[in-house]
């Protein structure tokens, strides 16, 4: 499960994510992070049972963190995709790359659902569901 976490300004300097992961006994991977003095936005991938995931979310929300479940899936219309690669460079997490045969490959596990690739695609073959 992927989560987008938004921290309010008063919590950006606290180790809330570490404490939450330890409390819920889950492993997580930070996929993307943007933190400044006004707020923090972090996208994480969490492998956990539903019970532990709920415990993690409750802990985070209890500490003022807004939690959004990212359920968007990347969809590529293979009949429209021309493998031009316009979607590759703007992807902030390298979830899109060329295969050895120069066709475009989308790596769903890395995708954070930002939608930049959908804007970059000149033939609108890429969609987020």
**Contact of 95 with 106, CB cutoff 8 Å:** yes
Say what the pLDDT of residue 84 is: 94
- CATH code for the domain of 11: 3.30.70.260
Q: Are residues 93 and 48 in the same domain?
A: no
Domain end, chosen from 24, 44, 70, is at 70
Q: How many domains does the chain have?
A: 2
Q: How far apart are the C-alpha atoms of 18 and 16, rounded to whole Å?
A: 5
- CATH code for the domain of 83: 3.30.70.20
Contacts of 119 (CB under 8 A, 6+ apart): 90
Q: Are residues 26 and 65 in the same domain?
A: yes
Reading the chain (129 residues) residue by residue, the pLDDT tens digits are 889 899 888 877 788 889 999 999 999 988 888 887 777 888 888 888 999 999 999 999 999 999 988 776 678 888 999 999 999 999 998 989 999 999 999 888 788 888 899 999 999 998 876
Longest dimension (CA), the chain: 49
Say what the pLDDT of residue 113 is: 81
pTM for the predicted model, two decimal places: 0.63
Q: Are residues 21 and 60 in the same domain?
A: yes
Say what the pLDDT of residue 77 is: 87
Alpha-carbon distances of 11 from 2, 50, 62, 64, 73, rounded to whole Å: 21, 26, 12, 8, 30
Q: Are residues 63 and 121 in the same domain?
A: no
**Contact of 44 with 73, CB cutoff 8 Å:** no
Q: How far apart are the C-alpha atoms of 34 and 56, rounded to whole Å?
A: 20
Say what the pLDDT of residue 90 is: 94
């Amino acid at each position: 499960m992927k989560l987008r976490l938004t921290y309010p300004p008063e919590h950006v300097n606290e180790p809330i994510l570490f404490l939450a992961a330890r409390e819920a006994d889950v492993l997580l991977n930070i996929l993307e992070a943007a933190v400044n003095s006004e707020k923090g936005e972090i996208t994480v991938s969490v492998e956990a049972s539903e019970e532990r995931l709920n415990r993690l979310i409750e802990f985070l929300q209890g500490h003022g963190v807004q939690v959004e479940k990212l359920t968007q899936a990347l969809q590529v219309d293979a009949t429209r995709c021309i493998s031009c690669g316009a979607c590759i460079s703007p992807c902030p997490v390298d979830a899109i790359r060329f295969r050895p045969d120069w066709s475009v490959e989308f790596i769903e596990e890395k995708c954070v659902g930002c939608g930049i690739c959908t804007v970059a695609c000149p033939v609108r073959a890429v969609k987020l569901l």
